[in-house]
Structure 1
Amino acid sequence: MKNELNPTKILQAFEIIMEKGSPTEIGRIYEGVEAFSDYDGYNVYMRGNGVELQVGFHNTYHLDYEQEHLRDSFLKKLDALVE
C-alpha cells in the first residue's frame, strides 16, 4: 500500500458521507464510516473499524490505527465510496 493518500479522493469520500449519511452525535455515518469536522472546518475526520483519519489544512493528514489490515480495509472502503 502506498504511504501517500490522495487528498482529492479523501475529501470526495467525506462529502459523500456528509450528503448520504445518517446523523450521529458529532457528524454523519454512511457505509460504516463516520465523518465530522471541527468547528471551523479546517480539519475533517473519518473513522470506522478501529481507524481514524484526520485531514487538516494544506491536505496534511494523520492516520491512527492499530493493525495494518484495518487501515487497508478502511482506505479501500473510502475508495469504494468515491467510485
Structure 2
Amino acid sequence: MKNELNAAKLLAAFEVVMEKGTDTEFGKVYQGIEAYTDYDGYNVFLKGNGVELHIGFHNTYDLKYDQAHLKDSFLKKIDNLIRD
C-alpha cells in the first residue's frame, strides 16, 4: 500500500477516541471506532466496521480489511472524529 494515510491525522483520531470514548475490554470506543494500544504504547490500533488499523513505530501502518467499501467507510469515520 502506498503511503496514502496521514499518520498525524490517524493519531489525532486515536486521541479523540481515548479522550471521549467509553471503556471496552481493550481500550475505548467512540462513534463506532475502538482504540487501544499494546502493553508498551508503541503500537496503537483503531478498529471498527470490519477494518483494523495498526500504527507502529516511526508512523508505519498496516490497514486490514476484506472489502474496499468497508475501508472507505472506516476512513470517513476517522475524518469525522477529527472534524468534530
User: How far is the alpha carbon of 1:73 from its aligned partner?
Assistant: 0.6
- Matched length: 82
Instruction: Give RMSD over aligned pairs.
Output: 1.1
Long gaps (5+) in structure 1: none
Give % identity: 65
TM-score by length of structure 2 reads: 0.94
For 2:44, the aligned partner's letter is V
User: How far is the alpha carbon of 1:29 from its aligned partner?
Assistant: 0.2
Give the corresponding residue for 2:79: 79
Give the corresponding residue for 1:15: 15
Measure, in 2, the Cα distance between the counterparts of 1:41 and 1:4. Answer: 24
TM-score by length of structure 1 reads: 0.95
Measure, in 2, the Cα distance between the counterparts of 1:44 and 1:24. Answer: 15
Runs of 4+ in 1 over 6 A off after TM superposition: none
SS at match of 2:26: coil
SS at match of 1:76: helix
Long gaps (5+) in structure 2: none
